[in-house]
């Protein structure tokens, strides 16, 4: 019996293989593309984006938390896609699976993204400062407002758009995993950039941007409508290759792990 393809709609996909492939793929892609993400964050936060000093700030907590995050995220997405809604090619199925994955992964992603973006923007100056903050209050990044900004405003719209675009490109466009990932990355980065700009402001400058509506008003007052699309180019340059590389590595790892697992059985 041959190895199973992760893109098979018939279900029965190995969750353990999915989790291992996702964790390994995320560490590789996030490390390589982290500087581009920092530039995007700085542009949206209104600080000097091109300073090399601190360009990797936030990488260590990002990597430490992203592996378990992706393991949870991809496992929930796969389980929902394959078993809750088996045997259908409806785009709504991929959207619902994306929402389920974002909600499940938020337990790790919310503090991870809050820490990472505050370090990228210079709000938290070093890993030592971060350790001191966590020693005083290890749960301080678990706040309702951070969940609102990160998960509801940003992650759920991004996850929904990304998976619909990816699955459609992979299945209907007959593209390989890397190309479908790149297409999904470009579509997602442009459509959801306003949500990303709002989220970044709320997380990096919480004293100034307390609600979604007030954040929109402040961005519009200072930069107009274009402020909601600040950082869209570096965001696209980060998300598109990130999605392409991640899906390519994930696809290759999944197939090889499944091949070994099947042969051993």
Q: Record the pTM.
A: 0.82
Which CATH class name applies to 15-257?
mainly alpha
Sequence spans of domains, the chain: 15-257
CA–CA separation, 150 vs 158, rounded Å?
11
Please provide the distance, in angstroms rounded to a whole number, between the alpha carbons at the two ends of the chain.
10
How would you class 240 by CB atoms within 10 Å of its CB: exposed for 0-12, middle for 13-18, buried for 19 or more? buried
What is the residue-level pLDDT of the chain in tens, covering all 265 positions?
A: 444 567 765 456 788 899 999 999 999 998 999 998 889 889 988 888 888 888 998 888 888 888 899 999 999 999 998 888 877 778 999 999 999 999 999 999 888 888 888 988 888 988 899 999 989 998 888 888 888 888 899 999 999 999 999 999 988 877 899 999 999 999 999 999 999 999 989 988 888 888 999 999 999 999 999 999 998 999 998 899 999 999 999 999 998 988 888 787 6
To the nearest 10 degrees (0 to 180), the angle between helices 177-191 and 156-171 is 140
């Amino acid at each position: 019996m041959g190895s199973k393809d992760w893109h098979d709609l018939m279900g029965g996909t190995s969750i353990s293989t999915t989790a291992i492939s996702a964790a390994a793929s995320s560490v590789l892609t996030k490390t390589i593309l982290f500087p581009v993400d920092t530039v995007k964050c700085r542009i949206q936060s209104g600080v000097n984006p091109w300073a090399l000093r601190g360009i990797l700030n936030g990488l260590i907590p990002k990597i430490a938390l992203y592996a378990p995050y992706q393991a949870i995220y991809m496992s929930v997405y796969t389980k929902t896609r394959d078993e809750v809604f088996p045997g259908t090619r409806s785009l709504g199925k991929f959207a619902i699976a994306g929402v389920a994955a974002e909600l499940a992964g938020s337990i790790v992603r919310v503090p991870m993204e809050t820490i990472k973006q505050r370090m990228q923007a210079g709000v938290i100056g070093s890993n030592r400062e971060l350790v001191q903050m966590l020693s005083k209050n290890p749960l301080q990044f678990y706040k309702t407002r951070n969940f609102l900004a990160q998960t509801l405003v940003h992650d759920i719209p991004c996850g929904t758009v990304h998976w619909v675009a990816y699955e459609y490109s992979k299945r209907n466009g007959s593209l390989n995993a890397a190309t479908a990932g790149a297409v999904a990355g470009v579509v997602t980065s442009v459509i959801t950039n306003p949500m990303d700009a709002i989220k970044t402001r709320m997380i990096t400058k919480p004293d100034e941007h307390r609600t979604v509506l007030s954040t929109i008003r402040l961005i519009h007052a200072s930069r107009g409508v274009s402020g909601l699309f600040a950082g869209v180019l570096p965001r696209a340059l980060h998300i598109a290759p990130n999605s392409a590389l991640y899906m390519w590595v994930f696809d290759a790892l999944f197939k090889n792990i499944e091949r070994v697992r099947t042969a051993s059985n």
